[in-house]
Amino acid sequence: MALLPDSEEPSYLLPADREAWTEHGAPDFVYGQQELVLEGVQWSNVPTVPDQLPPSVSRFDSALCSAWKQRMELGLFRYCLKELQTRILPGTVGFVAQLNVERGIQRRHPQDIRSVRQAFDPGQFNFSHIRPGEILFCLRPKPLLPDASQLEDIFVVINISPLERGHVLLVPEPARGLPQRLLPSVLRAGLEAVLLSSHPGFRVGFNSLGGLASVNHLHLHGYYLDHRLPVEGAPSEPLDERGHLHLLRTLPAPGFLFYTSQPSADLETLSRRICTATDYLYEQEIAHNLFVTRGAPPGMLSPSSALTGLRVILWARKSSFGIKESEAFNVALCELAGHLLVKRPEDFCSLTEASALALIQDSLLPPAQAHKVQAALVALMAQENQ
């Protein structure tokens, strides 16, 4: 790792003595709003992450990638993640398929989850059980104005079965025992994490219970991918007159789009608006996935290099509990965005755009129910405007 945090900042690396890990509290990554990278992030000349970081790397990228790489070298993951075989599937969508056999074999078996609204169970695995060395740092915003709501302290934790380099979990204080239900304060921290990165391929996402979340303890995923994805510039149409909610009709899957080009001012409002939608889905026992990426404004098809704001895409989908071992990939937040995590070499070689679309389409709500959800979300946005 060529770039490490400035010397006056706390160290994000573990002490050399393994015995000291339990004594070593997670350092704070304290940031101000001025560190949010709002402009100038583009796909040109983007290096591989995290082994080569550009001179303009953000402090957040340097801290996360250096600490993540050290944990890999120390053997804290279930497997050593090497460069993954990657191919862009021929066709109009632009699917990015990656072969990750070890994740398919060695990841923790999903918990016995039977409901989107299932209560937190302290007897099941949860993030209060992780080893201290798995925590990279605690994301902590500088104190806000007295009349503004405070953000959560978010633990940035390695995913011990990584899907890509830099794969982490964003976990609010684990001792609170929160179930996997999205909260505005936690979502806002995830939005800010994307903006703290100067890499266009750092994304954040959320899987609900029934939407392939394997642990019922509130967490977001964050990871780097050195490829554009279809949802960055996909065309959309407004669903409400204020432009708060848009519909992506394009492949790989239709979804609801929320967007802001002024994130420094809008993140709190945007987070509440999105959670109004996810709260409805939660109460209706409708599984859902969410994906946060830099991207183009809503409207007509835009070049995927036009990363002028934040896109947050929300998909309502059929509930699916457990891992479907017979399928080439499981459909969760990455796959709905166009990033396919393939488990077996034979599937990786034979996968086509048509077969990938068939798997994804099979996970979506039937048309009548999808239309009902759309009408409900439009009504909720209208109530917010009154």
Catalytic site residues?
Answer: 219
Q: What is the C-alpha to C-alpha distance for residues 302 and 65, in angstroms, rounded to an integer?
A: 30
Determine which helix (DSSP H) or strand (DSSP E) holds 137, and give its type and residue range.
strand 135-141
User: How far, in Å, are 65, 156, 292, 313 from residue 33 at the CA level?
Assistant: 21, 19, 19, 24
Short-list 157, 156, 109, 107, CA closest to 130: 157
Query: Which of 202, 233, 228 is closest to 295 using CA atoms?
Result: 233
At residue 31, the 3 state secondary structure works out as: strand
| Other Cβ atoms closer than 10 A to 131 | 13
CA 327, chain centre distance (Å): 22
Lookup: tokens for 121: 């169970």
| CB contact at 8 A, 21 and 15 | yes
Positive or negative, the Cα torsion across 209, 213, 216, 217?
negative
Query: Residue 211 phi/psi, 5° resolution?
Result: -110, 25
DSSP string for residues in 37-85: --S---STTPPPTTTS--TT--HHHHHHHHHHHHHHHTT-SSS---PPE
Distance CA 110, CA 322 (A): 6
Which helix H or strand E contains 273, and what residues bound it? helix 263-283
